[in-house]
Amino acid sequence: MSDREPRWLSLIAVLAVGGLYWAIPEALSPGPGWVLLALAAPLSILAAVLHRRAKFALNQIVGYTLLSIMTVAMIGALALLIAAVLAHKEKPSALLRSAVALWASNILIFASWYWRLDAGGPNQRELRGEHTEGAFLFPQMTLNDPDWMPGFVDYVFLAFNTSTAFSPTDVPVLSRWAKVMMMVQSTISLTALALLAARAVNIL
């Protein structure tokens, strides 16, 4: 799989996070729901334009900025959700919708982080033309296939497993920064799932 096709998938993932944030009730989000999507769309387009013009350093800066904003917004919404559950002020349906949106956003945001950071990011991986070193040991790397490189779907799969199994499953983690990020992702996912379970028990 080429790196160009997953690049479009990363754009869709970022816009999907903006849509999921919009689905969270206003009382459970740090700001208006449309703000994140309004920021994500132009910044994503800017990042794509910079990549096409080979402005890779600026492309990375824009990508880091966008993901940082999304990460802060997700953590802020999670904090508000925890407070709302403890205060018993919001309707169960609103709390459940918010928890599901945050759990899904957690997967897409961290998949985007891994895609942006692993082995220097997609631009550096594409320039090298091979993927023999990185923060994650994908099974294909053990097969000595010089033509294989991880795409965005591979990082989504890694993030999904981290949020469901709370472990990297078939992809060992090699670097310390990746281990720390995966611990943060697992903590956020566990919190969202615990809130879902708590509301489900109360409803039943």
| Rg of the chain on CA atoms, in Å | 18
Determine the pLDDT at residue 201: 54
pLDDT at 204: 43
| pLDDT value, residue 144 | 75
CB atoms within 10 A of CB 161: 17
Q: Looking at residue 174, what is its pLDDT?
A: 92
All residue ranges of the chain with pLDDT < 50 are: 1-5, 204
d(CA 189, CA 195): 10
Percent of the chain past pLDDT 90, that is, above it, reads: 46
Phi, psi at 173, each rounded to 5°:
-100, 130
What is the per-residue pLDDT for 75?
Answer: 94
Residue 120: other Cβ atoms inside 10 A:
16
